[in-house]
A and B are shown apart, each in its own frame.
Chain A
Amino acid sequence: MFWRKKRAEKYAYRTTSELFELARILGVERRQNVRIRFPSGKLESLPKVIAGGSTLFVQDISLGGCCLHDPLELLGPHVGQVAELVMAWPDQTYRVQSKIVARIDHRRHIQFLDFPTDRIEILKKGMEPGVRAQLMRITSRTTLGPKIKAKELWTSIAGDSLQVFDEIHMQAIVTAHLLECNIMRQAWPVRADKSAISKEEFESLLIFLRNISSPTPALTELLTQLEMIFSERGD
């Protein structure tokens, strides 16, 4: 419809596809497909990858492939070998023919050969917070410039921000697209009105934080703590 078309033209960077393209153009990811790192924990927005009956650890994923940890060589030892992966979402499971394109130690770089087309948009949606996070940069500090009222301030050209604090209770505030939450120490993240965020939002938050480039020790600590809370109380 004509108004939809206009809207898409006007609000560049808004849709998931456009965001992926923006990330590629800005050079945060020079590969053909933008990839994101997987946070640990039982996620529902991203698929579980199963081979030989075992769930494999996914290091990163893109629309074209993924990097799996396969110490038991369930996928086979040879580069170029085609293997069948089971990709499980909470609502449906798919069998995907995949090719091993590289191996480094026990890591296998996999290329999807017949990724289900009806899952592409779902995967994109799940990856979106990670792609947004790759545009985040830490704000410079100068000795003579204004003082920043946060321990660290991360911003992106997409308008997202992350403030990390060095306070007793408040640890961070995240404002990323549809996700806005305050993170207190050892607590489930909450919105500005103090209501707890949903599990899906928590997952997005983890994917977001996991994919910020060059994380500082404070950020790594924040992510570790959140991953722990998610695995303990996520169910």
Chain B
Amino acid sequence: MKVGLEQFRPKLKAGRLIPSGRVVIFEVDQPYDQIVLPVAMSDFVAMSSGEFTVRQMIENIYRKQGSVPFKALLDTILRLYHGGFFENAHELTLSSELQGWTKQKKRKWSLDWTFGQRLVSRGTVPGFFYFATLGLIVASGLGLLNWPSSTHGFVDEWMARQHSLWVTLFKIFAINSMVLTVRHWVSAAQMLMLKGKVYELSLRFSPWGIYLHMSDENTELLDNRLFVSMLHLSQILFPWALVPALGYLEFRHMDTLIISAMGLTIWELNPLANTRITALIRSLIFKKNDVSGFYDFESSDLKKQIFPEQARSEKKFITYSHLLGLGWTSFMIFGLHLIGQDWGSVVLNRLLHIQDQPVHHSLVYWLVALSWTSLATLCSIQLIRSIACFLKPTYFSRLRPMREYLHKRISVGRWTKPELTKTLSLLPMFSEYQPQHLSQLIDSSTLLTFNKGQTLYYYGDPATAIQILLEGHVSVQRRVSPQGQPWVTHLEAISIFGDSALIGDQARSAQIEATADSLVLSVPVDRIEQLAAQAGVLRQLEVYRNKTMVTQFFSSSPVFRSLSPETIDYLAKSGQMEFYDQNQTVFRQGDVGDSLYLVLRGSVDVLMNSAKIRELNKGAFFGEIALIANIPRTATIQAREPCVLFRITSDTFWGILVNHFDLGVFIESISVERLREGLRAIRESA
């Protein structure tokens, strides 16, 4: 029987949970496989025995920890599901939204055929690893002596010896495949020496070779910084270890092998690529003295999925790597000075005509060229993006001035009365009005033009009319608190703003500024109400008002703004409005609750043991705990003045959660928001 996520009873295959610092490794006996998860997920994994539903498990985690890391939890469920770790995975129905949760858009240049098995050795031999890897590094160092003294001359000669382009490409492809296969086999052997097991071996088909590949996630298991560094260093230099070995065996295509080794080494040394060496350099720069610190900076899909925060910091460090590229270039220039050479055109000239240069001189030239090429590539990408912005300004924000130029010209003359009537009738708010009523409404309205940068109205201005943006675009700034940073949203034609006037707001709660020359129709609210009564659409107006109230709440709340528009729409439709008189009790301390309340209008008192401890005003919400677990209310809520609340039940919450998991993430973020509120209060009182 197929069930949704909340009713699913996850049952893991027989295996064991191995804690390892900040992560836990779940290892399955048959077929041999493993998965690395955050340590906070160990409770979920331990409870995945088929006895509990996901909902029960979430409730359990909440009761125990006071919080549920929803994002990590969903990532965990999906990774276990896609990895084939659930025995009863066939029972789970995943919506397309959930399925797409962890899928990342990533260019993939290769195709992997995974064996799905692991290699296991009888035991670990770290001492043997140490000496074997040291030997490998020394051998690679000896192999590096084969780097041609005149690189350019060597490449020229090699190219002169080639007869056919296709044969040459095939030779490079075949030698790359050989080198990379041996490198990954050696890497797997090193892992066997260190940890006694290797997971996820696959055959990789890529444009530069077909080779056996060992997943980088294997190195997650390493816990010694020295060994990690040795492993990576030996892997980076490995192609050069093959050179003397194959030279001794009188390999026929030594020159192509050297070309391949040079290409692989230069790629690894490229400071702008997120290779192992750059990860190592970054970890050294930031003085991380533990091995997990090293992996914090290593690019890994696994990290991105289970530690999104780290993935964000990783992006930052990619930027640092670019800075490192600049530093690298400076260093190269300095290096040229050291060997008594000028830079600039001389370098280019030398690169093109290197003749019998010493090895270290030509190496410096090539590294300079590499750095410059990388920078040139970056500049080219920026240039291409700029051209794209120019061609499609709507889709790219980079060239805002261009977009503004395209929207600059407004034609007031175009907006004749029939045109305005037609436009208004297309808006949901006025769709039920008859044309004659719309015509009367337009007669009472004012057409206003605003120049770019002009403010339409400020916070606290009287709210007597709603505005319809006909041309141009405006920015809406809302402040959550007087000292806080404003939330800014941009509106484009045709849209309604200032509709808080419709729901009885005396003063504007936002500031509107024209971000381009704009044309606005200002419609007085009292006239809208009069005409609604005449047209018999008061009920529709009331529905629209309620919807506006809910929408305004969601758009002005810093927490709810993080939800997707679909989820907000679903919430607005699924919840219900409740009206309370002054001193009326919403719920009492000790009641069993199942709903979250949003304060749309008015304010409420929070009472604990009959003593008032807090006051919640418009924009606040309470009772979020009840969405996850049916625990007694911890306080009594009483209306301080006539107020309007919006109620979302736990069934609604779970109904939405199945399709829109960002609501779960939202609940997770509530604790963060409460935290920030507390901190803000502390700061303000200090």
Q: Check B678–A24 contact: CB distance below 8 A.
A: yes
Q: Check A26–B309 contact: CB distance below 8 A.
A: no
Q: Check B223–A192 contact: CB distance below 8 A.
A: yes
A28 to B69, CA, bound (A): 17
Q: Check A28–B17 contact: CB distance below 8 A.
A: no
Choose one: A26, A140, A149, A157; the contact of B47 (CB below 8 Å): A140
Choose one: A22, A141, A150; the contact of B19 (CB below 8 Å): A150
Smallest CB-CB separation from A150: which chain B residue? B19
Binds A, one of B36-44, B196-204, B359-367, B563-571: B36-44
Choose one: A17, A25, A142, A173; the contact of B682 (CB below 8 Å): A17
The 8 A CB mask of A124-148 against B (1 = contact, 0 = none) is 0000000000010101111111111
A104 to B26, CA, bound (A): 49
Q: Check A161–B22 contact: CB distance below 8 A.
A: yes
Interface, chain A (partner B; CB < 8 A):
10-13, 17-18, 21-22, 24-28, 135, 137, 139-150, 153, 155-157, 159-161, 163, 173, 175, 180, 192-193
Given A10-B312, A146-B48, A153-B19, A26:B682 Cβ within 8 A: no
7 closest cross-chain pairs (CB), A and B: A26-B66, A145-B49, A144-B49, A175-B21, A161-B39, A149-B18, A142-B49
Q: Which residues of A contact B65 (CB under 8 A)?
A: 26, 135, 137, 156-157
Choose one: A135, A159, A193; the contact of B22 (CB below 8 Å): A159
Q: Is B189 an interface residue (CB 8 A)?
A: no
Count contacts on B: residues with CB < 8 A to the other chain: 46
Q: Which residues of A contact B291 (CB under 8 A)?
A: 192
Smallest CB-CB separation from A141: which chain B residue? B46
Q: Check A145–B22 contact: CB distance below 8 A.
A: no
Q: Which residues of A contact B67 (CB under 8 A)?
A: 26, 157
Q: Check A156–B223 contact: CB distance below 8 A.
A: no
Q: Is B225 an interface residue (CB 8 A)?
A: yes
Q: Which residues of B contact A12 (CB under 8 A)?
A: 672, 675-676
A217 to B639, CA, bound (A): 49
Q: Check B675–A153 contact: CB distance below 8 A.
A: no
Q: Check A149–B69 contact: CB distance below 8 A.
A: no
Q: Which residues of A contact B312 (CB under 8 A)?
A: 10
Q: Check A145–B66 contact: CB distance below 8 A.
A: no
A148 to B26, CA, bound (A): 9
Q: Is B50 an interface residue (CB 8 A)?
A: yes
A-B contact pairs, 11 of them (CB 8 A): A12-B675, A25-B678, A144-B50, A145-B47, A145-B48, A146-B14, A146-B16, A146-B46, A149-B18, A155-B39, A192-B224
Smallest CB-CB separation from B671: which chain A residue? A25
A180 to B19, CA, bound (A): 14
**What's the nearest-Cβ distance from chain A to residue B158, in Å?**
46
Q: Check A148–B42 contact: CB distance below 8 A.
A: yes
Q: Check B45–A18 contact: CB distance below 8 A.
A: no
Q: Is B12 an interface residue (CB 8 A)?
A: yes
Q: Check A139–B46 contact: CB distance below 8 A.
A: yes
Q: Check A161–B674 contact: CB distance below 8 A.
A: no
Q: Which residues of B contact A144 (CB under 8 A)?
A: 11, 49-51
Q: Check A163–B66 contact: CB distance below 8 A.
A: no
**What's the nearest-Cβ distance from chain A to residue B296, in Å?**
12
Considering the complex, which residues of chain B in the window 246-272 have a beta carbon less than 8 Å from any beta carbon of chain A?
A: none
Considering the complex, which residues of chain B in the window 46-89 have a beta carbon less than 8 Å from any beta carbon of chain A?
A: 46-51, 60, 64-67, 69
Given A137-B64, A145-B47, A159-B22, A153:B12 Cβ within 8 A: no
Given A26-B66, A175-B22, A193-B224, A148:B671 Cβ within 8 A: no
Interface centre among A26, A145, A163 (most CB of B within 10 A): A145
A161 to B591, CA, bound (A): 36
Given A26-B65, A26-B67, A159:B39 Cβ within 8 A: yes
**What's the nearest-Cβ distance from chain A to residue B377, in Å?**
27
Given A139-B42, A140-B47, A142-B47, A27:B19 Cβ within 8 A: no
Q: Which residues of B contact A22 (CB under 8 A)?
A: 671, 675
Q: Check B17–A21 contact: CB distance below 8 A.
A: no
Q: Which residues of A contact B676 (CB under 8 A)?
A: 12
Q: Which residues of B contact A13 (CB under 8 A)?
A: 675
**What's the nearest-Cβ distance from chain A to residue B67, in Å?**
5
User: How many inter-chain residue pairs (CB < 8 Å) link A and B?
Assistant: 118
Q: Check B42–A21 contact: CB distance below 8 A.
A: no
Query: What 8 new A-B contacts, CB under 8 Å, besides A137-B64, A142-B46, A146-B46?
Result: A10-B312, A22-B675, A25-B66, A28-B66, A140-B47, A144-B50, A147-B15, A153-B42
**What's the nearest-Cβ distance from chain B to residue A11, in Å?**
7
Q: Check A139–B43 contact: CB distance below 8 A.
A: yes
Considering the complex, which residues of chain B in the window 346-398 have a beta carbon less than 8 Å from any beta carbon of chain A?
A: none
Q: Check A159–B17 contact: CB distance below 8 A.
A: no
Q: Is B679 an interface residue (CB 8 A)?
A: yes
Smallest CB-CB separation from B50: which chain A residue? A144
Q: Which residues of A contact B97 (CB under 8 A)?
A: none
A188 to B24, CA, bound (A): 26
Q: Is B290 an interface residue (CB 8 A)?
A: yes
Q: Check A25–B50 contact: CB distance below 8 A.
A: no
Given A25-B674, A146-B45, A155-B42, A163:B19 Cβ within 8 A: yes
A161 to B17, CA, bound (A): 14
Q: Check B17–A146 contact: CB distance below 8 A.
A: yes
A18 to B680, CA, bound (A): 11
**What's the nearest-Cβ distance from chain A to residue B473, in Å?**
27
Considering the complex, which residues of chain B in the window 263-315 have a beta carbon less than 8 Å from any beta carbon of chain A?
A: 290-292, 309, 312
A150 to B42, CA, bound (A): 12
A27 to B671, CA, bound (A): 11
Q: Check A146–B12 contact: CB distance below 8 A.
A: yes
Smallest CB-CB separation from B68: which chain A residue? A157
Smallest CB-CB separation from B307: which chain A residue? A159
Q: Check B21–A145 contact: CB distance below 8 A.
A: no
**What's the nearest-Cβ distance from chain B to residue A77, in Å?**
30
Smallest CB-CB separation from A135: which chain B residue? B65
**What's the nearest-Cβ distance from chain A to residue B645, in Å?**
23
Q: Check A147–B66 contact: CB distance below 8 A.
A: no
Q: Check A26–B46 contact: CB distance below 8 A.
A: no
The 8 A CB mask of B11-35 against A (1 = contact, 0 = none) is 1101111110110101000000000
A22 to B671, CA, bound (A): 8
Given A26-B65, A148-B16, A180-B21, A159:B38 Cβ within 8 A: yes
Q: Which residues of B contact A28 (CB under 8 A)?
A: 66
Q: Check A146–B26 contact: CB distance below 8 A.
A: yes
Q: Which residues of A contact B46 (CB under 8 A)?
A: 139-142, 145-146, 148
A142 to B225, CA, bound (A): 36
Q: Which residues of B contact A145 (CB under 8 A)?
A: 12, 45-49
Q: Which residues of B contact A159 (CB under 8 A)?
A: 22, 38-40
Q: Check A21–B678 contact: CB distance below 8 A.
A: yes
A147 to B40, CA, bound (A): 16
Q: Check B16–A18 contact: CB distance below 8 A.
A: no
**What's the nearest-Cβ distance from chain B to residue A160, in Å?**
8
Q: Which residues of A contact B225 (CB under 8 A)?
A: 193
Q: Which residues of B contact A142 (CB under 8 A)?
A: 46-47, 49, 51
Smallest CB-CB separation from B25: which chain A residue? A149
Q: Which residues of B contact A147 (CB under 8 A)?
A: 15-17
Given A27-B66, A146-B26, A11:B17 Cβ within 8 A: no
Q: Which residues of B contact A180 (CB under 8 A)?
A: 21, 290, 292
